[in-house]
């Protein structure tokens, strides 16, 4: 393996998680002095119109498209070896070939289940060490292929699922899910309270309301919290959802000591650090960030698929609470915040799911594995000669 290798990281924008993991791994590769890091949204570059349509449908799966997404997510096993999946196996082949030919990467990392990569090896005979970095706390069959050299997973639970599907245990490593380095930093909480004008003597409820709309009626929920939670300060993060933020701004004006509403927050880790608990959607990255800083999470009505599977994993490990009715959230939050013993246990449990320095662990291991694979190829070539 070259002292300064070249890596191709393939991702897709179905939710922000896959892209965020790709970016984190890119930063780690650059930190280690890789010769070049190419990050490619393969499907968008190959089929821009199709990609936009399917991304739109994915977002709609969080509202009226839930049944459609359930059918896709849980029905893949039944069609895995049929014609529809064969079409998926070939998606992006042309663009992948162009990149491989022009860039000649020493290794490929998938942060989205792109079966075209191992299928490319099978079709062309071109062996580039290929690695899958799974971005959830559950396993979907579509990640699995005989020509993936190694899998990097969030937990031993996911590893067991892969082994059950016939993957050798030595080709699966539990590394956690890569998140931004800021979540590993040490910061004084007193500075955070001052920065956001929050009261350190009050409990803080953090509501992540921006991504895909965690709750349909956030305003009514916030009004309920304000009326019943005088000793709790509520912070709502709207992300890039400007319409939602504008609808909540009057509440923030009327109750400045009790209610804060923010748009996109770059250093979201700061608010995680002072949150007593958080209402959020059970995306793999958000949950991993919560494990890093020990934030108990309340997961509202997870959609079918990986988010529902993530939610059940965290609930089974007593690190999260699933609520399926909006009317129940206020009472459940109050019960949790009023129960110090339970709250502290949930913090301990969710921290217990964290694997620190995930990006470092993954890239260090990938370098070693890629070198081993290349050496094995060279030896095989010499013998054949």
72-82: pLDDT as tens digits:
555 555 555 55
CA distances from residue 331 to 102, 228, 323 in whole angstroms, order as listed: 58, 9, 10
Count of beta carbons in the 10 Å neighbourhood of residue 76: 15
Burial zone of 171 (CB within 10 Å; 0-12 exposed, 13-18 middle, 19+ buried)? middle
The runs of H, that is alpha helices, within 184-305 are: 189-195, 218-228, 242-254, 268-274, 284-293
Give the global pTM: 0.88
Statement: 185-351 belongs to CATH 3.10.20.30 = no
222-267: pLDDT as tens digits:
888 888 777 899 999 998 888 899 999 999 999 998 999 999 999 9
> What pLDDT score was predicted for residue 171?
97
Domain boundaries, the chain: 6-176+356-384, 185-351
Which CATH architecture is the domain 6-176+356-384 placed in? 3-Layer(aba) Sandwich (3.40)
Residues 152 and 21 sit within 8 Å (Cβ to Cβ): no
The set of residues, in sequence order, having a beta carbon less than 8 Å from that of 263 and lying 6+ positions away, is 210, 237, 238, 239, 240, 242, 245
Which among 281, 21, 310 has a CA at the least distance from the CA of 138? 310
Q: Is 146 helix (H, G, I), strand (E, B) or coil?
A: coil
160-171: pLDDT as tens digits:
999 999 999 999
* Cα torsion 236, 290, 181, 184: sign: positive
């Amino acid at each position: 393996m070259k002292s300064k290798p070249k890596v191709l990281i393939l991702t897709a924008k179905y939710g922000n998680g896959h892209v965020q993991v790709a970016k984190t791994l890119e930063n780690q590769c650059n930190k280690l002095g890789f010769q070049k890091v190419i990050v490619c949204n393969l499907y968008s570059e190959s089929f821009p119109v199709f990609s936009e349509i399917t991304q739109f449908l994915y977002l709609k799966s969080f509202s009226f498209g839930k049944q459609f997404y359930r059918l896709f997510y849980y029905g893949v096993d039944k069609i895995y070896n049929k014609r529809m999946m064969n079409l998926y196996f070939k998606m992006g082949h042309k663009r992948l070939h162009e990149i491989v030919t022009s860039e000649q990467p020493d290794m490929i990392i998938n942060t989205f289940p792109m079966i075209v990569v191992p299928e490319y090896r099978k079709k062309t005979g071109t062996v580039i060490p290929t690695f899958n970095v799974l971005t959830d706390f559950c396993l979907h069959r579509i990640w699995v292929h005989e020509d993936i050299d190694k899998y990097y997973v969030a937990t031993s639970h996911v590893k067991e699922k892969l082994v059950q599907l016939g993957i050798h245990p030595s080709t699966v490593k539990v590394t956690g899910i890569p998140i931004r380095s800021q979540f590993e930093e040490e910061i004084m909480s007193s500075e955070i309270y001052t920065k956001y004008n929050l009261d350190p003597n009050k409990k803080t409820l953090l509501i992540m309301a921006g991504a895909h709309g965690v709750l349909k009626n956030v305003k009514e929920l916030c009004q309920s919290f304000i009326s019943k939670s005088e000793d709790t300060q509520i912070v709502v993060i709207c992300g890039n959802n400007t319409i939602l933020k504008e609808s909540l701004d009057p509440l923030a004006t009327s109750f400045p000591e009790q209610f804060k509403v923010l748009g996109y927050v770059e250093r979201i880790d700061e608010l995680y650090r002072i949150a007593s608990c958080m209402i959020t959607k059970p995306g793999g990255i958000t949950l991993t960030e919560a494990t890093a800083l020990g934030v108990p999470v309340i997961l509202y009505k997870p959609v079918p698929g990986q988010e529902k599977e993530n939610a059940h994993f965290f609930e089974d490990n007593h690190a999260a609470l699933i609520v399926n009715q909006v009317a129940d959230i206020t009472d459940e939050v109050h019960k949790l915040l009023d129960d110090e013993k339970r709250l502290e246990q949930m913090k301990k449990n969710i921290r217990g799911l964290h694997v620190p320095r995930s990006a470092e662990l993954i890239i260090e291991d990938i370098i070693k594995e890629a070198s081993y694979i290349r050496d094995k190829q060279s030896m095989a070539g010499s013998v054949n000669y």
